[in-house]
């Protein structure tokens, strides 16, 4: 039976009108937001434009049993703007396509948009349009985000050279452990406080826009950058491939959070694995010329985000080596992170 609260009762146009009426889409830069065939917006002179898109599909990227609609909206937007952060840019505009099963409740959509809007407001992004279609079974969300950067200050994946020093923000590995806890697969005794920290990292990631702006506005010689979405080792591999480089990582320098450490029962070997292989952290991984390391550290003293100096780029093609605390060297496989088309 059709419920008055689900989409059977509200056609596509009424739904779009409902979304429009709740969003403030116009701004000095967005002449026309939701309501026409296209949005109209202007770009700033002396800036280059960045564009990126990311899709989330129910049961691949999220499980509605473990994430609330508001968190889902927030996370979808955060994951998208993280790509703009990874290039040193500022996001300013987004459009969203939704594939909705007809059983989706209007309340769900309202909350999803609340999450989207909250992140958009925090980063001054205008949600200027989208598309709404029915999906036979699973929910999907696709966001396209636009950003801008100064013409000669964009950070790319390629650009690192042997000797460049590797840094990462925050605590990679926490998000993946948060997911494991949500899926009730971590049987270790862990305090509620640590559990909540890890779960929040997974459900409500912070895109590193502020940290990226700090780097972009500085004169530091940042030579390459990527956001960690598929695991630190795998994403580090992306910084190395183009120029056939390698990297050394130091186990004792990896930023293992107290929460992750306790979820791994203080077993260093296990927490190292989570830091290197976990996904969906949206931390920034970047390289910098050795002479700028000191300046970088003092720049981040003022920020409330921790950065860690975890290794250096080498000339060994595609060889990522972990130097263990006992001095042993272990070769890491970059492909240990997430890969959609990997054979199981």
Footprint of Mg ion (CB under 5 A): 131
The string of DSSP codes covering 252-319 is GGS---HHHHHHTTT-HHHHHHHHHH-----EEEEEE-GGGHHHHHHHHHSSSS-EEEEEEEESSTT-
The H-assigned helical ranges of the chain are 12-22, 69-86, 106-122, 174-182, 192-203, 209-217, 232-241, 258-263, 268-277, 293-301
CB 322 within 8 A of CB 236: no
Q: Which stretch binds ligand ADP (CB under 6 A): 46-54, 125-133, 181-189, 267-275?
A: 125-133
Question: For residues 130 and 255, which CB has a smaller minimum distance to Mg ion in the complex?
Answer: 130
Q: Which stretch binds ligand ADP (CB under 6 A): 67-75, 127-135, 234-242, 326-334?
A: 127-135
In the list Mg ion, ligand ADP, none, the entry touching 158 (Cβ below 5 to 8 angstroms by class) is none
Question: For residues 30 and 332, which CB has a smaller minimum distance to ligand ADP in the complex?
Answer: 30
Question: For residues 32 and 238, which CB has a smaller minimum distance to ligand ADP in the complex?
Answer: 32
Question: For residues 131 and 252, which CB has a smaller minimum distance to Mg ion in the complex?
Answer: 131
Strands 90-100 and 165-169: unpaired
Residue with the CB atom nearest Mg ion in the bound state: 131
Applying CB under 6 A, the site for ligand ADP has a residue count of 12
In the list Mg ion, ligand ADP, none, the entry touching 304 (Cβ below 5 to 8 angstroms by class) is none
- Range 258-291 burial, b when 16+ CB lie within 10 A, else e: ebbbbbbeeeeebbbbbbbbbbbbbbbbbbbbee
Question: For residues 120 and 236, which CB has a smaller minimum distance to ligand ADP in the complex?
Answer: 120
3-state secondary structure of 333: coil
What is the footprint of ligand ADP within residues 28-87 (CB under 6 A)? 34-37
Give the one residue of 6, 7, 19, 108 binding ligand ADP; rule: CB under 6 A. Answer: 19
Residues that bind ligand ADP (CB under 6 A): 16, 19, 34-37, 96, 98, 129-132
């Amino acid at each position: 039976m059709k419920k008055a609260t689900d989409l059977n009762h509200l056609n596509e146009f009424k739904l779009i009108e409902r979304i429009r009426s709740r969003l403030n889409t116009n701004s000095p830069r967005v002449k026309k937001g939701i309501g026409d065939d296209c949005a109209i917006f202007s770009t700033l002179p002396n800036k280059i434009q960045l564009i990126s898109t990311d899709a989330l599909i129910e049961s691949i990227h999220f499980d509605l049993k473990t994430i609330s609609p508001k968190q889902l909206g927030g996370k979808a937007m955060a994951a998208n703007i993280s790509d703009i952060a990874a290039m040193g840019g500022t996001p300013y505009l987004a459009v969203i396509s939704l594939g909705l099963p007809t059983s989706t409740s209007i309340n769900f959509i309202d909350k999803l948009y609340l999450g989207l809007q909250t992140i958009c407001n925090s980063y001054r992004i205008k949600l200027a349009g989208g598309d709404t279609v029915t999906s036979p079974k699973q929910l999907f969300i696709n966001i396209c985000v636009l950003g801008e950067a100064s013409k000669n200050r964009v950070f790319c994946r390629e650009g690192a050279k042997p000797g460049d020093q590797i840094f990462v923000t925050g605590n990679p590995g926490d998000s993946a452990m948060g997911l494991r806890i949500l899926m009730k697969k971590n049987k270790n005794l862990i305090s509620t406080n640590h559990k909540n920290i890890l779960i929040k990292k997974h459900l409500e990631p912070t895109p590193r826009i502020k940290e990226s702006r700090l780097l972009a506005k500085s004169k530091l010689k940042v030579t390459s950058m990527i956001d960690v979405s598929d695991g630190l080792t795998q994403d580090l591999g992306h910084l190395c491939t183009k120029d056939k480089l390698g990297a050394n990582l130091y186990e004792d320098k990896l930023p293992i959070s107290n929460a992750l450490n306790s979820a791994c029962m203080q077993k260093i070997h296990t927490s190292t694995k989570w830091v290197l292989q976990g996904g969906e952290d949206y931390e920034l991984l970047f390289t910098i010329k050795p002479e700028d390391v000191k300046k970088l550290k003092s720049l981040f003293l003022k920020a409330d985000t921790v950065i860690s100096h975890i290794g250096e780029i080498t000339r060994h093609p595609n060889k990522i080596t972990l130097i263990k605390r006992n001095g042993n060297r272990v070769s890491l496989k970059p492909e240990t992170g997430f890969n959609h088309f990997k054979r199981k």
